[in-house]
Structure 1
């Protein structure tokens, strides 16, 4: 049950957003500690571990990322049970998954954003800080005992510090993991490995050797052992990202990061101009040149990549736990029932045996307008309970005990016999996401490993065991920009990023010789890379001096 929102999604020209974001006031009353007029519905003595329940019925608007695989329904058990437990009704402002980021920007820029703005990845909040449109949520952590408790117990302060802006505050409530959770890797035809008497590759160099053997075993000239997916909107989005992290970079592909951190030298550097980045491109160029990696991997749709794997035109593809179980294995079963496909532990690169994933994930912005609500404190308590308490996280993920799940004698969660999700009970008539609204990317974030991994198959849990045995990568330091600096770097970042993408593709596909690397670096400098790095270094040094 939820109240139908009357908010309109603002349709505005792109210029409206820009004007709205720069038109900010000098003052910031969000740090005002007097909340006496904003406690209607709030619990008087709310502590970590308590069940939050508003003292009177309250309603909160929330931006809702409407996923096509489980579109929003008014009669979901999630809504009615949330209301029963917390006395809260959500007013969802639903926008399609495909337009979520654009509509979020338009709503915030027009001053029409809902109070609660979830599904926001770290760094995406930067664009809204100078406008004053979102709250510095770090000012209100005293209202969130469960989040405070997890930051303390899980020693998350280094990760939290990466969110801080030039004023020392942070403006995003992130999803927080106790342990790193790395999902994306490569899926490989293990039946082919057995036929060729090959081991699962542990390193990227061993992967090269395996791909060569696969290529030699298949005389079909149209066969490429590795044909990849996840190339929209960024070419080879996943492959470039996991490979970059294996080379000691912060990210590439769909997670391209302009800046990486050298922990040994204590120095920030430009990712796309580094020797590690060049080595990564050289490796991929070798795979393409020797016809081990399908050059269409960088442009084709997911469906095309899946079809090639299904028809035996490839043996390796990027995958995560859900695409492996829900797509790739069922695809293969139709054409080759004896084929076996396994998601292998992420191959190890020059950076060593690391788990490359940090412990923060997408989280929540709070609209500045929420601060003026008489129910503000109750809202922050609700956010703290639903997204950060053990009970709230269990509820958002599993639903209602006795209806959607049960627990065995050891306390382990089990889906109810008539409920399916991610193929765990394929013949069950009901679906946890589609029919009940649980395990939804809007509300089910992060948590303890036993909860995060509670839907995982034994196979996936073994994958996680291998990854968690690796050393977590070093958390990079913050280098927050001032408003003026951010305005300047925003003019540089997009041209730099677009050029790095374009040049990477040219180097990988052999359209540009890697012998031209120095010329490429000169072109980066012409696009203000050095000036950009000067501002980054200045921001880093200033933050270290002012905040340590």
Structure 2
């Protein structure tokens, strides 16, 4: 079981000081490079929620994750208005969504990456720390007043602590959410629930009961089929079930999980809770309640099964309900109704498990050589962290793409659609204007987050927000030597855990062999890996409090 540590409970303002200083008591402070000569075009008195505007026209390359649903257009209002407001022209270096991580790694590794490198999920930045290819951005937080303001106002120092490397510094500028936001869950055919006189399942045991009843009524069908099994088998489903037992699986899988009973990290794939997750899913497969193809099929296959009425439960989020299911489902099965249900609970109880940190921005080390470095950091701070920049990235231009009423509520322009809010409108906020773009629009206040939600989604959020937030695990950053060693062990370990997890779930390996499986992990350096993690954890705790 993961739980909050004493250090995290008392970290408070002291951690924020650490964010800025990044050093222990016995260690010389890490000093930021002198950038006094790199202030060309920077504002002299830039501050919180002040419109950033460079004092002269400047431009920066930005690595651009080109989404297939809204591919980049050079004439987007996003680009035009951004330049108008900030005097900055962004030059996107386009990389297809499907190839983004690989291409980003090649560009950063070769020193050819743009100065601004968004859409990076922690811990992906760790691969570039040792080489010095990216900046320790925490050295330059003083150039980013909006970022500092939100860290302090939302008490996010413990959250940022999880990004810290062995030198105490942070190398990724993360998106910041005011509160933990849960989006991914399950969608259920509520008309089938009504027909069978069943309640919406609140726990995973309830879901089992619901699936059994559906199977009894429709014996030739799998009541549940799932998506997001490629490239991570059971990506969302394993994540959700693992959370319910107090561990990590699927998309969220990490090798180490903090165990409060021992005050140490343990190996996730060998935890009793991980075995409980497997046992639950294996039971669903064995009783033909869960389609065994769920873990390997492409999304299109899963969607076709659900949308044609051949299954009744599937992983979902707010956008997939609107974009992937309802339009087709209501055509093919006119009587069908579906809903995104609150994440089912398990033994750990009523928690919402997630993070207030989003994917973030890396800054190339080359940026320090740019005469406009300070202006660039001010620009990044305004676009990604100011209230005005976040509103602009999400909603666009007031009077063109949206309006606000007297209460401050947002309303899309009548000719613009987004997530079905103006279904049938001739223009689309993402496709035709470039706003609500995943490269720029993430993080912010809960009010801004909720501003595009339907009444149905707001009700889901209300239920989830009533739950307690899952405590943050303590950091355990590797030094360069440890990272090199850990990298050699991680891939074989993860591949084996993934392979054997799937075999256990599908019944290809008997769960009576669990102890043998754990011994096999030991043969792949599991114990040495956990020892490495705990060494890093103990060192960081000693050096940084």
Q: TM-score range by the shorter chain?
A: over 0.9
Q: Is the 8 A contact 1:53 1:86 kept in 2?
A: yes
Query: Distance in 2 between the 1:372 and 1:30 partners?
Result: 19
User: Is residue 57 of structure 2 the alignment partner of residue 60 of structure 1?
Assistant: no
Unaligned runs of 5+ in 1: 1-27
1:461 corresponds to 2:458: yes
1:133 equivalent in structure 2: 133
Correspondence for 1:248:
246
Residues 506-545 of structure 1 mapped to structure 2, 5 A cutoff: 506-545=503-542
Q: Is the 8 A contact 1:231 1:299 kept in 2?
A: yes
In the aligned structure 2, how far is the partner of 1:416 from the partner of 1:315? 35
> Residue 3 of structure 1 aligns with which residue?
none
CA contact (8 A) 2:417 2:428 kept: yes
| TM-score normalized with structure 2 length | 0.94
Q: Which residue of 2 aligns with 1:445?
A: 442
Which consecutive unaligned segments of at least 5 residues does structure 2 have?
1-27
Quote the residue 2:370 is aligned against.
Answer: 373
Cα deviation, residue 255, structure 1: 2.5
The answer as to whether partners of 1:246 and 1:356 remain within 8 angstroms in 2 is no
| Cα offset, 1:349, TM superposition | 1.1
Q: After the TM superposition, which residues 349-498 of structure 1 pair with which residues of structure 2 at under 5 Å, given as runs? A: 349-498=346-495
Q: CA deviation at 1:30?
A: 9.1
Give 1:303 deviation, angstroms: 1.1
CA shift in 2, pair 1:32/1:156, >3 Å: closer
Q: What whole-Å deviation, never above 9, does each CA across 1:362-421 have from its counterpart, x for those lacking one?
A: 000000000110000000000000000000000000000000000012110100001111
Higher RCO, 1 vs 2 (CA within 8 Å, ≥6 residues apart): 2
Deviation at residue 91 of structure 1 after TM alignment: 1.2
CA distance in 2, matches of 1:274, 1:163: 24
After TM superposition, give the deviation of residue 264 of structure 1 in Å.
4.9
What residue in structure 1 maps to residue 92 of structure 2? 92
* Residue deviations 1:150-174 (CA, integer Å, cap 9, x gap): 0001011111000000000010000
Give the superposition deviation at 1:477: 0.6
Give a deviation string over 1:167-215, Cα, whole Å, max 9, x none.
Answer: 0001000001001111000000101111111100100011101110111
Secondary structure of 1:443's counterpart equals coil
SS in 2 for 1:182: coil
Measured against aligned partners, the alpha-carbon deviations of 1:95-116 in whole angstroms (never above 9, x if no partner) come to: 1000000000000011001000
Contact 1:49 1:146 in 2 (8 A): yes
SS of alignment partner, residue 38 of structure 1: coil
Runs of 4+ in 1 over 3 A off after TM superposition: 28-33
TM-score for the superposition, normalised by structure 1? 0.93
Deviation digits for residues 221-250 of structure 1 (CA, Å, limit 9, x no counterpart): xx011111111101111101111112111x
| 3-state secondary structure, aligned to 2:183 | coil
Match of 1:38 in 2: 38
Matches within 5 A, 1:210-249: 210-220=210-220, 223-249=221-247
| 1:218 CA drift (Å) | 1.1
CA deviation profile, 1:123-165 (whole Å, cap 9, x unmatched): 0000000000000000000000000000001011111000000
Aligned-partner Cα distance in 2 for 1:310–1:89: 43
Q: What SS does the corresponding residue of 2:232 show, helix, strand or coil?
A: coil
Given that 1:30 and 1:135 are in contact with CA atoms closer than 8 Å, whether structure 2 keeps it comes out as: no
Q: How far 1:265 sits from its partner (Å)?
A: 4.2
C-alpha distance in structure 1 between counterparts of 2:487 and 2:450, whole Å: 38
Q: CA deviation at 1:435?
A: 0.7
Partner of 1:188: 188
What is the root-mean-square deviation of aligned Cα atoms in Å? Answer: 1.2
Equivalent residues of 2:201, 2:210 under 8 A apart: yes
Q: Give the count of matched residue pairs.
A: 518
Q: Spell out, residue by residue over 1:315-339, the C-alpha distance to the aligned partner (whole angstroms, 9 max, x if none).
A: 1000000001111111211111111
